[in-house]
Structures are given as C-alpha cells and as structure tokens.
Amino acid sequence: MNSTKNIAQLIAELRNDGITDPAVLKAIEGVPREIFLPDPFKSRAYENVALPIGRHQTISQPFVVGLMTQALRVTDRTKVLEVGTGSGYQTSVLSPLCRRIYSIERHPQLHDEAEVRFKQMSLTNITAIIGDGSEGWPQQAPFERIMVTAAAEDVPLVLLEQLAIGGIMIIPIGVDEHDQRLVRVTRTEEGAETEDLGAVRFVPLLPGVADK
C-alpha cells in the first residue's frame, strides 16, 4: 500500500489540529520539506512527524513548527533570533513572515547544509552562524522575537535580556524528554510573563560548539 502523503493533506491536517493562521499555513505550504531531509526520509516529508537529520538531531514535526510559528506572532517588521537552525526548515517557514532572522546552530555540518538550502530557496533575509545560541547574539540584540528549538532547563536569562520589552520568546522547557512544555514568554517592564502551550519533545539545548 502506498501511504505517501502530499502537502495538501498535511495542510488539511494542521488546520484540523489548530493551526488556523492563514499566513502560517501558507508559509508551510511554500516550503518543500523534502529538501531538508536525508534521502531515506524524503518520501515521508509530508507526514506530520519529526524525522532524523543526522548528528542525532531531528527536523521538527510540522504541527510543532506551525504551533511555534503561530505562537511567535511575527509580522513583516519583526527581527527574530532563532536558536537551533538544525535542517533550516523552521527558519525557512519563518522567513517569508518576518523582516530578518538571525539563526544560530552549534553543529557546523548542519549549519553548512542549512545554508545551501537557504541559497537554493533564494531566502535572503536569513543570517546564519555557527555558535552557542544559549549566549544569544549580543551584537544584534535586542530582538522582538526569539524562537528556541532545543529544550532548556529554564528560560535562559541571557536570552531574556536580549528580548525587547514587549517581545515574545517561544521555548521548550524541561530536560526530561518525556516531560517538556512549550512556553511563551513575554518580556515586560518588570520581568516576564509565561504561558504554557502544551507538551512537546525536543533535543536538549547543549553548551558550546560541536566538533566538525
């Protein structure tokens, strides 16, 4: 039986599961997920599942990409910091929705592969570097939005400090892979407000840069 799913089926599934922002759905529809996957997994590009991308890392589940993108509330005026470029899939979905994205990845090989894809897709508003994203990107701060796609023990203060007042950070919190929550943090004059967006499963945010 051939169970290969196409992008229209994936979009219908995401809408059904609560991704209702038409701009977000359109952005997902515009990104060919197969180019972010290693050959053995390309045929499964439009299944609503996380898949391996090498270096023990995963491309996020499309539903989670939709949820995080929707929760980030970006506009074409927004400057975004992304921690954990990975395959570059989430970055590519955000690209048409915001003004500029600064994205950091600690695995040189994943960074290099993502850069090739950004060029291939002619995405010109992405600046990607190899580095430890838990330190943020002080030279470019403050950011109106921060998207972290690896799980932290707690909201990193360094990142909170690089978030503009009124800015939003989306981040998975919890080191136990089976007990993580997606959190939306809004920076206020006094500190920060947090909202729980549900259970998720992400690889951990690790310190330092990985070996090539």
Q: Site residues (CB under 6 A) for ligand SAH? A: 57-60, 83-84, 86-87, 89-90, 104-107, 110, 132-134, 149-150, 203, 205-206
Least separation in angstroms between CB 1 and ligand SAH? 29
Residues in the chain: 212
Rounded alpha-carbon distances, angstroms, from residue 43 to 2, 38, 61, 194:
11, 10, 15, 38
Least separation in angstroms between CB 50 and ligand SAH? 8
Which residues are the active-site residues? 60
3-state secondary structure of 1: coil
Which two three-digit tokens encode residue 92?
A: 């590519």
Least separation in angstroms between CB 189 and ligand SAH? 28
Least separation in angstroms between CB 196 and ligand SAH? 21
Pairing of strands 51-54, 57-59: antiparallel
Pick between residue 19 and residue 59 the one whose CB is nearest to ligand SAH: 59
- Tell which residue, 201, 208, 77, 65, has the closest CA to residue 145: 77
Pick between residue 121 and residue 188 the one whose CB is nearest to ligand SAH: 121
Pick between residue 11 and residue 94 the one whose CB is nearest to ligand SAH: 94
Pairing of strands 180-187, 163-173: antiparallel
Pick between residue 133 and residue 167 the one whose CB is nearest to ligand SAH: 133
Pick between residue 1 and residue 157 the one whose CB is nearest to ligand SAH: 157
Rg (CA), the chain: 16
Least separation in angstroms between CB 2 and ligand SAH? 26
For residue 128, the surrounding DSSP H or E stretch is strand 126-130
Q: 173-179 contacts: CB < 8 A, separation 24 or more?
A: 175/151, 175/204, 177/151, 177/201, 177/202
Query: Is 33:45 a contact under the CB 8 Å cutoff?
Result: yes
